[in-house]
Amino acid sequence: MIDVRAEDPHALEAIEWFLEGIGPLTDTQIQGIPKRSVLHSGWAPQVGSSSGGYYSAFVTRPASPVEPATNGRRAPRIVFVARASVPETAAALAASSKAGLISELTLGDDAVGETFSIDAGGGWTASVRTSEAAISGITADAVVAPGRNDSTLAYAVVLARGDAPFAPRTTVARNDLPRRLRDDPYVESPYPELPVRLLALFRFWSVIDWFYPYKDLIGDWDAVLRESIACFEEAADANEYTTAVFRLVASVPDGHSGASGNPALKLFGGTAQIPIEVRAVEGEYVVTAKGYAEGIAIGDVVLAIDGEDLRARVERMRPLFAASTEVARVNRLLALSRRGANDTVARVTVRRTDGSAVTVEVPRVPGYVPRISSGEPWRILEGNVGYVDLTRLTIDRVPAMFDAIMTTRATIFDVRGYPRGTIWAMAPRLNTKRAKTAAQFRRRMISPASLDERESSYEFEQHLPAGDTPLPIYQGRTIALIDDRAISHAEHTCLFLEAANGTTFVGTNTAGANGDITNVVLPGGFTAYFTGHDVRHADGRQLQRVGIVPDIVAAPTLAGLRAGRDEVLERALGLLN
């Protein structure tokens, strides 16, 4: 008899080593017990899809067979005594009816597999199952509850002393297919009960802890958990709970961080916007672009919205919204400060060029995009220089764009905003360097084998597309105009331009947030968003929280805006002259 009654994973591991080392336990080769476990390649989004290719999957690992004696010695009659977990070798022998098996508890499909121990504090340790047998049907000859004088062991003695064959068992391969499950978003409870509110905190914190690729850049994440518990406990209504969720998500300093879905989001003003663009310029909050906003001019300094000082409004909202850099955060907060309910009229107080302050009533509109242009998104400037607005260029117009600029001596690509996925079609026709790599990618790879180190990752180089046809490559110099409005795919566009032909960057740092957004659902109907990939320059340099760094620094001035000048474009043209 071999007593294998243990539940501690380290004890079970030691027993397995013992069984492998004590010599042959069978006269014939016995198939081992294959196991399957879950592999997470990044964090798959729980709502919608992602360009990141994140997924979770079952991984089945074949087991080594239990080898027979080779010296002619007959294997002994063996009976294993187990509680609820069975070492692999014991399970393999029992499944093949080469050994008896007595258990104190009914054995389930989880009788064989690995666990991972987590220190839960206060002297408690949690064991989490990380794998299971890939076959079912591992059963005991008898289930004998423990009693006086170890009745389980006594029963095993009787079985061991007998000479009858052990009960035949039928094991079958598990063919239950994996199903994609998502966490419960509790959409029916905008203000959940306390245990569920805490679940929201623990769920988001854990996903970031395991899967956020830039965790080394966000400071003491354990402290965020400790400091957030009181906010979630003390939230007295849906508005306060929403505030707690937003504060938590904003603890990840990333331009991709955000949340949506809860009805209490009206707390933050709605989705309609004042049809102006307001950005920080020389320490002032300045109108830099506008739609139909009669009475407001580009270059006006915004002092207040709806009677609230704009600086005070920005600071009031600061704890709720994150960005990767301080410049990007201020400009994000300024954009959010323009929000309000549909069909409302905003009172905007501005300071004119002459120093006078006036209040103008401006209707809010849904879906406002301030940069209004018409015609083709390219033109030829004086001096035979091309100009292409990548925020307007569409994929179908890329060939015509190249036809237009092909004979120019230089081209300026405007990336001060969000492109429309055109760089894949553009890169083959800009790759004068014959470069292969555009960017480096890394994402967290979580499996039972990586739980102790937590540093396992999947890494790859993203290559420049080769192009479908031998179209002519543009040979002129290229310059890209950048600022913090270039985020995510815009920054990736810059990586392609950098790799393809050494484009010169003029402007200010981009937003510093790149890496294929993913998401997790939280109680209250929230969907929380975060970056899923660590994306770097082709040579491995950090982009996150830095941005694309300009070769030539240039920024708008208050005087230039009021004069109708594009000083960043002017600086780029100056390089060419």
Q: Residue 295 pLDDT more than 90?
A: yes
Residue the block writes with tokens 């069984």: 19
Residue type, 70: T
Angle at 271 between CA 265 and CA 277, to 5 degrees: 125
What's the pLDDT band for 282 if we cut at 50, 70, 90? very high
Q: 47: which DSSP letter?
A: S
Which token pair is 442?
């890394």
Phi, psi torsion values for 224, nearest 5 degrees: -60, -40
């981009």: which residue's tokens? 510
Q: Taking 60 as the threshold, does the pLDDT of residue 429 lie above it? A: yes
Contact indicator for 420, 493 with CB cutoff of 8 Å: no
Mean pLDDT of 255-280: 87
The alpha-carbon radius of gyration of the chain (Å, integer) is 32
| Polymer length of the chain | 577
Higher pLDDT, 341 or 195: 195
Q: One-letter amino acid identity for 19?
A: L
CATH dotted code for 378-512+547-576: 3.90.226.10
Burial 209-221 (b: 16+ CB within 10 A, else e): eebbbbbebbeee
Closest residue by Cα to residue 91 from 484, 82, 396, 447: 82
Say whether pLDDT at 390 is over 60.
yes
Instruction: Kindly tell me if the per-residue pLDDT of 526 is higher than 70.
Output: yes
Say what the pLDDT of residue 127 is: 84
Res. 371 pLDDT band, cuts 50 70 90: low
Q: What is the pLDDT of residue 519?
A: 98
Superfamily (CATH) of domain 272-363: PDZ domain (2.30.42.10)
Say whether pTM exceeds 0.85. yes
Phi-psi region of 238 (alpha: psi -120 to 50; beta: other; left: phi over 0): alpha
Rounded to whole angstroms, how far apart are CA atoms 86 and 112? 6
How many CA atoms lie within 13 Å of 411's alpha carbon, on the beta-carbon side? 25
- Which tens digit of pLDDT belongs to each residue from 199-224? 999 999 999 999 999 999 999 999 99
Give the Cβ contact number of residue 29 at 10 Å: 11
pLDDT tens-digit map of 453-490 = 666 899 999 999 876 668 899 999 999 999 999 999 99
Which has more confidence, 30 or 8? 30
The pLDDT assigned to 137 comes to 84
Q: Which region among 193-197, 287-291, 308-312, 378-382 has the lowest average model confidence (pLDDT)?
A: 287-291
The per-residue b/e assignment along 367-396, b for 16 or more CB within 10 angstroms, e otherwise, is: ebebbeeeeebbeeeeeebbbbbbbbbeee
User: Which of 116-130, 446-460, 501-515, 539-553 has the weakest average pLDDT?
Assistant: 446-460
Given a cut of 90, whether residue 535 has pLDDT beyond it is yes
Q: Is the pLDDT of residue 451 over 90?
A: no
Q: What does the pLDDT read at residue 372? A: 58
SS3 content of the chain, % helix, strand, coil (to 5): 25, 25, 45
Q: What is the mean pLDDT of residues 86-95?
A: 92
Alpha carbon 571 to its chain's center: 37
Say what the pLDDT of residue 72 is.
Answer: 65
Alpha helices in 378-484 (DSSP H): 398-405, 423-426
Mind spelling out the 3-state secondary structure of 49-95? CCCCCCEEEEEEECCCCECCCCCCCCCCCCEEEECCCCCHHHHHHHH
d(CA 306, CA 297) in angstroms, rounded, equals 18
Structure tokens at 363: 């209707």
Residue range 102-114: average pLDDT? 88
Mean per-residue pLDDT for 171-184?
83
369: its two tokens: 């995009």
Distance from C-alpha of 117 to C-alpha of 572, rounded to nearest angstrom: 58
Does residue 417 have a pLDDT over 60?
A: yes
The DSSP element (H or E) to which 324 belongs, if any, is none
Q: What residue type is 472 in one-letter code?
A: P
3-state secondary structure of 397: helix
Q: What is the mean pLDDT of the chain?
A: 92
Angle between helices 9-21 and 88-95 (to 10 degrees): 60
**b/e map 75-85, b = 16+ CB within 10 Å:** beebbbbbbeb
Partners of residue 446 on adjacent β-strands? 40
Three-class SS state of 436: coil
pLDDT at 503: 98
Q: How far is CA 490 from CA 261, 419, 429, 497, 556, in A?
A: 26, 6, 18, 11, 20
pLDDT at 468: 61
Residue 168 has what pLDDT? 83
Spell out the residues 6+ positions from residue 573 whose beta carbon is closer than 8 angstroms to its own. Answer: 381, 383, 385, 412
Q: How many CB atoms lie within 10 A of CB 254?
A: 28
- Model pLDDT, residue 263: 78
Q: What is the percent of the chain with per-residue pLDDT over 90, rounded to a whole number?
A: 71
Quote the pLDDT of residue 467: 65
The residues near 243 (Cβ < 8 Å, ≥ 6 apart) are 231, 235, 267, 320
The dihedrals phi and psi of 394, each to the nearest 5 degrees, come to -105, 160
**CA-CA distances (angstroms) from residue 169 to 141, 410, 504?**
9, 77, 71
The domain limits of the chain are 2-173, 194-259, 272-363, 378-512+547-576
pLDDT level of residue 368 (50, 70, 90 thresholds): low
Range with the poorest average pLDDT among 107-116, 210-219, 225-234, 502-511: 107-116
